[in-house]
Amino acid sequence: MKSNSIWNADLGNGNYRNPILYADYSDPDAIRVGGDYFMIASSFCNAPGLPLLHSKDLVNWKVVNYIISEIPEERYKEPIHGCGVWAPAIRYHEGTYFVCFPMPDEGIYMSTATDPFGTWSKPVNIRPGAGWIDPCPFWDDDGKAYLVAGVAKSRIGYKSVLHMVEMQPDGMGLIGEEVKIFDGNENDQETIEGPKMYKRNGWYYIFAPAGGVKTGWQTVLRSRNVFGPYEYKVVMRQGDSTVNGPHQGAWVDTVTGEDWFLHFQDVYAAGRITHLQPMSWHEDWPVIGIAKEGTDGIRRDYGEPVMEYRKPNVGDITVSVCEPAASDDFTGSQLGLQWQWNANPRKEWYELTGNSLKLNAVRMEEAYGEMPNLLLQKWPAPEFTCITKLDLSHLADGEEAGVISMGMRYGLLTFRKDGSHLLPRFVAGEQKYGKILVEAVEESAQELPVIDWNHAGEIYVKYTVKQTGTQDLNSKEKGFPLELVTFGYSTDGSSYRKAGEMNAVPGRWVGVKNGVFCCYAGSEVKENCGYAVVDYVEYDRSL
């Protein structure tokens, strides 16, 4: 299987391009420890959860671990789209790595490790209860520790408020009562959330996005006292750039003294992709991106995003050009780190055979999009083709396997075994949401020509994502890409028949994912099930 570069930000000439990751690593937070950068992101109901990425230069990144192997709490054995792990924070204190993450219905959790590449501790719920989100721990110079957090209106009835509370120095509990330190409803900072706390020159800083995911900006609060009062300033806006809603992320520095900011941009179907901006200081306020002159020639005190810039100066080191994995031939002893399940996984769902992935048929209790055993990965680029080779010769009658494009609007190409035939069909589905949860799912199916069985049962599925224009979802926005997803299939890997197409719609707070499944319909669990074999998935930028 050939290895292709899908999206790499390193231009090879000393510059980089944005986004540095064209993939849905949403709500990023990052730290530097020595010469290493570690970044984490939201994962919602997908498991394993909380991907950990590593870089040496802030441009070239690889997924190296997950903080949690499964989502805490029993109910996540089924997909609960939009719930689960929201915006996390990562910090390093006295030899220990801390990851603090919210689950808006369950509480605020903390996990730790001394080796970030190893196994992280079982999460501890340090603030049980619904409502608080986006927590960030902070250790002060005197050894005291604090936690700053936002709130979710859908769980607590109000929004745009930040709270501060003292935390145990070991990070495993809270002390005293929380204090409201900022209310965005009282000024022009509505929907302020995602706070990240730092200290510089005697100032306490809280970096917090406001204005909403799609059209917002980056705000920074500062105070001489942990509990305030805090003054604020907008430090980055979209301005004349094409980067809508540039906010929510992490301030990091380099060993050479430079400052940089990682943030996301919501591009609709592909999710929230990651950008890197230079950061400077003006009168003890940060300016993120490039500050441009106004029409009156006066320097602005906020920045606008860059699309190309020189790479960070990280010292005299050699950095390999890399990107998160996408293609997979399943030759390892564990699933590749690009893969996540639609819910907490069960060991009986799959097996790695040494040169392929065996997916056991699992009873389908709900609609296709509600199956927990969907094995998925993020879109890795704005446009691409993914070829999946399946061996369906081990399916029992009535069992099926295929490839799915998963979002609130989803599509899939499935092949059901029926005696000496394979019955292919293209299924389109859409999730209908209430205030928080899916309340209904609508599905329709298009039957395709019957495939006569061959001795191997080999099927090739071609999944193509192509940008076909833009859509203007709000008058304040310049339009998001409109992606057309097309499915095709072949029995020889050369000549493909078109099976169906759909306009992509993201999932609940997540970008579209694509992947594989194996299942059967019925009211009873079968004792002896067949299986499908996934020989490989291969991504390519060519369409």
Degrees, nearest 5: CA angle 237-242-243? 50
Strands (E), 361-449: 362-364, 375-378, 384-391, 399-406, 409-418, 421-433, 438-447
β-strands 124-128, 107-113 pairing:
antiparallel
Cα dist from 154 to 133, 212, 354, 363, whole Å: 11, 15, 46, 33
> Which amino acid appears at position 340 of this protein?
Q
SS3 category, 240: coil
Distance CA 407, CA 487 (A): 15
DSSP H or E stretch at residue 156? helix 153-156
Distance CA 18, CA 240 (A): 15
Distance CA 309, CA 18 (A): 9
Distance CA 181, CA 221 (A): 10
| DSSP structural state of residue 31 | E
| Lookup: tokens for 243 | 């980067």
Q: What is the DSSP string of 176-229?
A: EEEEEEEEGGGTT-TT----EEEEETTEEEEEEEES-TTT-EEEEEEESSTT--
Half-sphere exposure of 206 (CA within 13 A, CB side): 35
User: Of the candidates 131, 83, 91, which has an alpha carbon nearest to the alpha carbon of residue 110?
Assistant: 91
Distance CA 118, CA 357 (A): 24
Distance CA 294, CA 521 (A): 63
Distance CA 303, CA 239 (A): 8
Task: Identify the active-site residue in 10, 27, 266, 400.
Answer: 27
Residue 27 falls in the annotated catalytic set: yes
For the chain, the straight-line distance linking the first and the last C-alpha, in angstroms and rounded, comes to: 18
Q: What is the DSSP string of 60-113?
A: SEEEEEEEESS-SSGGGGS--TT-SB-S-EEEEETTEEEEEEEETTTEEEEEEE
Task: Identify the active-site residue in 10, 24, 166, 193.
Answer: 193
Distance CA 132, CA 110 (A): 14
Residue 452 falls in the annotated catalytic set: no
Please list the active-site residues: 27, 193
